[in-house]
Structure 1
Amino acid sequence: MQKERITNTLNELFNDSKYDRIKIAKGVAKSIFRPIKPTDFEEAYLSISKEQGEHLVQIIKENNFKNIIEFGTSFGISTLFLAQGILDTNGHIITTELLESKAKKAIENFKKAGVNNLIEVRIGDAIETLKNHKEPVDLLLLDGWKYLYLPLFQMLEPNFHSKTIIYVDNADMTEVKAFLNTIAKDDKYQLQSKFNNKAVLISLKK
């Protein structure tokens, strides 16, 4: 029943997000006059695909992941896929969103899906909301403002363990490619591309 509620909520959100490209284009257009800001995409979902979401569920279940951190909640689509996974592992999600308006809508979606008790939403700059995190990180989903990928990775790195997976979305974007090139220079990590290079999985070499 709970999984069905998640699926129904996800279907509604994906249906609502079908005009996302128009909203994104409007946000990008504003960069003609000034640098792009997160508020330019306040109404855009900026979500992962269903295929990516299903892959995240598979990763969580196969590895029995319990401690999940997500950077970039948006309206909660990717978070709901993470929740589908941890239903089977008795896990917990910490997700962080810069924009309060988006975070509030995400919380409403989590309540609608019946999983708000599994998800801790932190509102604000992720560098602050995740500062001093001391718990192990099984899965880190990087899907927020791109220039923060590297500092967040470095800040949370002491909490990685031998089975940790860092899921990097938008891997085909210039800023993210620079981040991945930096990580690739460290011999202890291995990188695996997925979904025609849209996503990359980072893990520690065995």
Structure 2
Amino acid sequence: MIVLHQENIKATLIELYNDAKNDKTRIIKGLVKSIIRPMQPEDFKHAYLSITEEQGLFLVELIKKNKFKNIVEFGTSFGISTLFLAQGALETKGRIITTELIASKAEKAMENFKKAEVSNIIDVRIGDAMQTLQNHKAPIDLLFLDGWKDLYQPLFNMLESNFHTNTIIYVDNANMTESRAFLKEVGRNDKYTLESIFDGKVVLIRIK
């Protein structure tokens, strides 16, 4: 059964990556709007902003290697990264909580999860992550940060009590200004170690 689910995930990912080939145009349109005002999430409601396949496969192995079961994702978008998380979670019998601000993106992601037949292990929450994850009390094995960058720090602070000695925080777009400020703040705490991968695009935060 797991093999069948894995094949469904791979087929869905192929479709999504094919559609995402037009992402540069969508991103440019969003950036053009930011010329006259600060960028807003709605500017990218049609853009995938997805992780690479290499990053996705790394996530799968990270979950399997560490036997992660409790996974929280900030920034569902259309669900590409979530599907990679699901590939790993299927092997560990884990579950994923993922949150997305833009309802139209979340709804499309849920369609993709249904197509891949992994909806049963994914809890999609629509809205501001500071609200949708506010009452989260369960341990977090893997926290995947890939949403609006100015929320990395407040989300980290809010969820920090759910971390344990084996928790890993995966920080995507770590080379962006807001992300660097967040990582600099975390790095001041001797409790954490930071590991840069993918040429600095990603940083893994581990607990000593």
TM > 0.5 fold call: yes
- Determine the structure 1 residue equivalent to 2:72: 69
Q: CA deviation at 1:21?
A: 1.1
Correspondence for 1:56 among 55, 59, 78 = 59
Partner-residue secondary structure (3-state), 1:190: strand
Correspondence for 1:26 among 29, 38, 56 = 29
Alignment of 1:78-117 (within 5 A): 78-117=81-120
Q: Deviations over 1:176-204 (max 9, x none)?
A: 00000000000010000110000000011
Q: Which runs of 5+ in 2 are unaligned?
A: none
Q: Which stretch of structure 1 is more off in the superposition, 194-203 or 31-40?
A: 31-40
Structure 2 residue 39 is matched with structure 1 residue 36: yes
- Determine the structure 1 residue equivalent to 2:154: 151
In 1, the alpha carbon distance for the partners of 2:55 and 2:197 equals 9
Partner-residue secondary structure (3-state), 2:92: coil
TM-score by length of 2: 0.98
Structure 2 residue 178 is matched with structure 1 residue 203: no
TM-score by length of 1: 0.99
Partner-residue secondary structure (3-state), 2:194: strand
Which residue identity is paired with 2:129? A
Calculate percent identity across the aligned residue pairs: 65
In 2, the alpha carbon distance for the partners of 1:114 and 1:16 equals 20
After TM superposition, where is structure 1 displaced by more than 6 Å over at least 4 residues in a row?
A: none
In 2, the alpha carbon distance for the partners of 1:203 and 1:21 equals 33
Q: Deviations over 1:159-179 (max 9, x none)?
A: 000000000000010110000
Which residue identity is paired with 2:132? T
Which residue identity is paired with 1:104? E
How many residue pairs get aligned? The number is 205
Partner-residue secondary structure (3-state), 1:200: strand
Partner-residue secondary structure (3-state), 1:172: coil
In 2, the alpha carbon distance for the partners of 1:32 and 1:50 equals 31
Partner-residue secondary structure (3-state), 2:171: strand
Structure 2 residue 191 is matched with structure 1 residue 184: no
- Determine the structure 1 residue equivalent to 2:8: 5
Which residue identity is paired with 1:133? H
Q: Which runs of 5+ in 1 are unaligned?
A: none
Q: CA deviation at 1:22?
A: 1.1
